[in-house]
Amino acid sequence: MITKAYAGYSLREKERMNSSSGGIYPLIAETVLSIGGVVFAACYDALNVMHKKIDSIEDLSSSQGSKYVASDLKDTMRQVEQCLKEGVYVLFVGMPCQCAGLKSYLEIRKVDQAKLLIIDFICHGAPSRMAWNAYKKSLNDRGRELIFVNMRDKTTGWSNGDYAWYEKTSDGKVIVTPRRKAPYMQGTLANLYTRPSCFECAFKGVERCTDITIGDYWGVGSHLPEMDDNKGTSLILIHTDKGIQTFNAIKESIRWAEGSIDEAIKKNLCLVQSTTRNEKSYEFYKRLNSGEDLIQIINDLLKVSMMSKIKNKMKYLITHMGGVELDLTSSFSTVDCGSCEQYNTDSMEVAA
Ligand SMILES: Cc1cc2nc3c(=O)[nH]c(=O)nc-3n(C[C@H](O)[C@H](O)[C@H](O)COP(=O)(O)OP(=O)(O)OC[C@H]3O[C@@H](n4cnc5c(N)ncnc54)[C@H](O)[C@@H]3O)c2cc1C
Ligand code: SF4
């Protein structure tokens, strides 16, 4: 079947705000749980990111939201196999490479996949776990122990990539930092510590081996303005009949409209194209391996000169005033996934 595109967001306001885009994932997960199925998705476990089996609606919240860390699958594939062999419905959500890996595993082991629903997402790339652990250490070294994080807090907005980094530390402090000033997000989107496999990702493209692909519908306001209220809208790509049935099952709980794959790609190149390595990543790892502080390294490496700032500002103005599509990538060239862009870290507020 040819992939169909939709724009959509959940009508459950609170749940939608806890998700990174339109809150489509929790609705699908709930549908699977309500028929006695189980969900395998990436959760926080003592702030480590790993896939877990979820079997009740109450436990869904920790799986919501984008975690910019490569999730640890542990023995998830074996657990999925076991559930399917017992005739249990399974929803697996993961990065496109994880989904493809699971499919291959089940095919090799000749496991019946009739009761398996697989959802992947548009994937910029996965930051290494080493960097995430170093970030937590960096805060610890400043006397601040991280106890909660939301890497995509939408209370500051969503449409222009205006989301924020929300963190809570054991001293009771809550800090909400615009993502453009949050050190870990700056390093993530500038590809300082994206895993090397992501630069030649074999799982790009509109057609996928999954049933549904979800992502941020960046730019939805320009061709479907009624679908953008600045609280997050999902791009939903349906690839299979199972995907259609699932979409039909949640339709009453969402606001939706037919979308355009071409329009979506314009603002979300990560759907079809790998992101590019930041040449400074070699220096990043060298310094990190020698024991330097992560926040300091990010701060040093992403500093841009005044001249670069002026050039970037001019490029931005030409693009937006002239309506011409220009490549906004910079000296830290990345593929534009809608929210990646040049970072000005000269004014970065480092949590001290
Ligand atoms: C590393 C990463 C890169 C991304 N890059 C892009 C991009 O370039 N363009 C784009 O449009 N969208 C991207 N997304 C997806 C997007 O941010 C939303 O996660 C997606 O649109 C789903 O949103 P939602 O509101 O429906 O549900 P949410 O509640 O936000 O659901 C998130 C789902 O993603 C899973 N998940 C979260 N983090 C991970 C992880 N580290 N590994 C595996 N699974 C995880 C959760 O388990 C959950 O099932 C990325 C997500 C991640 C984690
Ligand atoms: S970019 Fe490709 S290889 Fe990297 S995490 Fe995403 S799907 Fe996997």
Calpha distance 322→243 (Å, rounded): 40
Q: In what order do the strands lie in the sheet with 164-169?
A: 146-153, 164-169, 174-178
pTM, two decimal places: 0.91
Please list the alpha-helical segments (H only) found in 197-337.
220-223, 241-250, 261-267, 281-289, 294-301, 306-322
Task: Please indicate whether residue 213, judged by its CB atom, sits closer than 6 Å to ligand 1.
Answer: no
The pLDDT, as a whole number, for residue 186 is 96
Which ligand has the minimum distance to the alpha carbon of residue 204?
Answer: 2
Other Cβ atoms less than 10 A from the Cβ of 293: the count is 17
| Nearest CA among 194, 190, 76 for reference residue 131 | 194
Ligand 1 neighbour 8 (Cβ under 6 A) = no
Q: Please tell me the predicted confidence (pLDDT) of residue 352.
A: 27
In 3-state terms, what secondary structure has residue 191? coil
* pLDDT for 314: 76
The CB of 42 under 6 Å from ligand 2? The reply is no
Tell me how far the alpha carbon of residue 69 lies from the centroid of ligand 2, in angstroms: 11
Q: Report the atom number in ligand 2 closest to the C-alpha of 270.
A: 1
Check pocket membership of 95 for ligand 2, CB cut-off 6 A.
yes
Q: Does the C-beta of 270 come closer than 6 Å to ligand 2? A: no
Tens-digit pLDDT profile for the chain (352 aa)? Answer: 899 999 999 999 999 999 999 999 999 999 999 999 999 999 999 999 999 999 999 999 999 999 999 999 999 999 999 999 999 999 999 999 999 999 999 999 999 999 999 999 999 999 999 999 999 999 999 999 999 999 999 999 999 888 999 999 999 999 999 998 999 999 999 999 999 999 999 999 999 999 999 999 999 999 999 999 999 999 999 999 999 999 999 999 999 999 999 999 999 999 999 999 999 999 999 999 999 999 999 999 998 755 566 776 777 676 655 443 333 333 333 455 655 543 333 333 333 2
Number of neighbouring beta carbons within 10 Å of residue 303: 13
CB 127 within 8 A of CB 194: yes
Asked if 85 contacts 111 with a C-beta cutoff of 8 angstroms, the reply is yes
Cα–ligand 1 centroid distance for 200 (angstroms): 20
Q: Identify the pLDDT of residue 341.
A: 44
Burial of 90 (0-12, 13-18, 19+ CB in 10 A): buried
Atom of ligand 1 nearest to the CA of 43: 47
Looking from the CA of residue 198, the nearest atom of ligand 2 is: 4
pLDDT at 347: 30
Are 70 and 131 contacting, i.e. CB atoms less than 8 angstroms apart?
A: no
CA of 95 to the centre of ligand 2 (A): 6
Each domain of the chain, given as residue ranges in start order, spans 4-123+202-267, 129-193+273-322
- Select from 97, 194, 334 the residue to mutate for testing ligand 2; criterion: most ligand atoms less than 8 Å from CB: 97
- Quickly count: other Cβ atoms within 10 Å of residue 87's Cβ: 10
pLDDT for 337 equals 62
Residue 77 token pair: 């594939």
Cα distance between residue 100 and residue 118, in whole Å: 10
Ligand 2 pocket, residue 201 CB under 6 Å: yes
Q: How far is the CA of 33 from the centre of ligand 2 (A)?
A: 27
Ligand 1 pocket residue status of 159, Cβ below 6 Å? no
By most ligand atoms within 8 Å of CB, the mutation choice from 66, 189, 236 for ligand 1 is 66
Q: In what order do the strands lie in the sheet with 48-54?
A: 48-54, 38-45, 90-94, 116-121, 212-216, 234-238, 4-10, 254-258
The finding on whether 127 has its CB within 6 A of some atom of ligand 1 is no
Residue 69 CA, ligand 1 centroid: distance in Å = 11
